[in-house]
Amino acid sequence: MTIRHIQLRPDADPARARRALGALGLWTTPLLDADGRTIAYTVDPPSPPVDPAAVTALPDVARVLRAQSPHPRVDARADTPVTVRRAHFGGPDPVLIAGPCSVDAPDTIHAAAAHAAAAGATALRGGAYKPRTSPYAFDGHGPDALAWMRAAADAHDLAMITEVLSEHDVDCVAAAADVLQIGSRNMQNYALLRAAGQTGHPILLKRGMAATTDEWLLAGEHLLVHGAAAVIYCERGVRGFDPAARNLIDLGAVALLAHAHRQPVIVDPSHAAGRRDLIAPLARAALAAGACGVMIESHPDPTRALSDAPQATDPHTLRAIGAALGLTPAPPVREVAR
């Protein structure tokens, strides 16, 4: 529970109290009585967590009032690692999730899985149901893609992550995937959050492109209320003002979720940058800010990608990124003929 109000003693020196509160890390706004005397401070804007005992120990403070958290289930999961097959979110190593934007064919998803494992990835992500801005763009091979991806993930002992776009598809996606992804456009689709949560799967929850961190955490609370095993938050960039990079990666929000809320948070530099040359440095920056993993779009042959080709990393670059993150590649698996 965070400190919201600080009531002063009748004989308090308000200016001294405010300096002491500021020194503890609290931003404050004075609350005045009818005579214009400062009798309390409200903590505003939100400030880092501070031990209430340290505040009540100040000579000018009478008592401290705390605010009830709007997301108790999220808070209860603070510092709880999430393990899905070999992927340990919040473990000692960062998690690399790799794979194509959309699953285009059985051979490419198998090759993508092999390259992902060789780069040290422990999860394969690809789209079977794609949210597309244009109704004319390729929107995924649906159930066929789910089956191809499941086989490819199993062949390389990778966790399978894929987006569910609609509550109508939740059962079929949950039957195939280990983790359901909720895309940016659906972060506040509460009917979908309910259905996805009810599967009991862990959920990868992408941040809405204009969502506040509170709205993001509350979307996580929706998932947990309905039964999700865990929520992994994914920052994918928010709407900024500068078109030079497609979206603005909010590393402040990543640090806030990782260090203040102590939640598993990863970054998707691919959809943030929209160009492959910036993915490696942004991935390193994400981990430095506190992310426990990164999700990178990769394709064995970007010339065959049916969506997001310009941001797809090739296998060589993916391997270099895995090495830069200090990951150990899985030993090669010899695939049986299909």
Nearest to 100 by CA among 296, 285, 271, 264: 296
Phi, psi of 324 (to 5 degrees): -65, -30
Q: Which is nearer to Mn ion, 44 or 277 (CB)?
A: 277
Tell me the sheet residues that pair with 127: 102
| Residue position matching structure tokens 């990124």 | 321
Please report whether residue 184 would count as binding ligand PEP according to CB under 6 A: yes
Under rule CB under 6 A, which residues in 205-234 are in contact with ligand PEP? 206
End-to-end CA distance of the chain: 55
In terms of DSSP bridges, do strands 2-8 and 61-67 run parallel, antiparallel, or are they unpaired? antiparallel
Q: Which residue is nearest to ligand PEP (CB)?
A: 183
Which range of residues in 43-51, 183-191, 274-282, 330-338 is near ligand PEP by CB under 6 A? 183-191
Pair 275, 244: CB distance under 8 Å: no
Instruction: Please name the residues in contact with 198: beta carbons below 8 A apart, sequence gap of 6 or more.
Output: 170, 226, 227
Closer to Mn ion by Cβ: residue 178 or 308: 308
List of residues 6+ apart from 275 with CB closer than 8 A? 245, 246, 310, 311
Residue closer to Mn ion, measured from CB, 169 or 308: 308
Q: Phi and psi at residue 234, in whole multiples of 5°? A: -130, 115
In angstroms, what is the minimal distance from the CB of 220 to ligand PEP? 16
Pick 207 or 261: Cβ nearer ligand PEP? 207
Residues 281-320, one symbol each (x = binds ligand PEP by CB under 6 A, - = not), give: ----------------------------------------
Q: Which is nearer to ligand PEP, 56 or 212 (CB)?
A: 212
The verdict on 101 binding ligand PEP (CB under 6 A) reads: yes
298 binds, among ligand PEP, Mn ion, none (CB under 5 to 8 A by kind): none
Cis peptide before 332 (omega within 30 of 0): no
Question: Please, which residue, 58 or 101, has the CB nearer to Mn ion?
Answer: 101
Q: Which is nearer to ligand PEP, 122 or 311 (CB)?
A: 311
Contact partners, residue 292, CB within 8 Å, separation at least 6: 89, 90, 91, 94, 95, 258, 264, 265, 266
Site string for ligand PEP, 269-288 (x = CB under 6 A): --x-----------------
For tokens 């200016």, the residue is: 15
Residue 120's nearest CA partner among 333, 278, 318 is 318
Find the shortest distance in angstroms from Cβ 164 to ligand PEP.
12
Pairing of strands 293-297, 265-267: parallel
Among 87, 218, 308, 322, binds Mn ion (CB under 5 A): 308
CB-based contacts of 303, cutoff 8 Å, min separation 6: 309
Overall residue count recorded for the chain in this entry: 338
Q: Which of residues 21 and 306 has its CB atom nearest to ligand PEP in the complex? A: 306
In the complex, least distance from residue 26 CB atom to ligand PEP, rounded to whole angstroms: 34
User: How near is the Cβ of 15 to ligand PEP at its closest, in Å?
Assistant: 47
Shortest distance, position 326 Cβ to Mn ion, whole Å: 26
Q: Quick check: 100 binds ligand PEP (CB under 6 A)? A: no
Per CB under 5 A, the list member of 55, 95, 101, 258 interacting with Mn ion is 101
- Closest-CA residue to 203 (of 230, 176, 167): 230
Residues at the site binding ligand PEP, with contacts judged by CB under 6 A: 101, 127, 131, 183-185, 206, 236, 271
Residues at the site binding Mn ion, with contacts judged by CB under 5 A: 101, 308
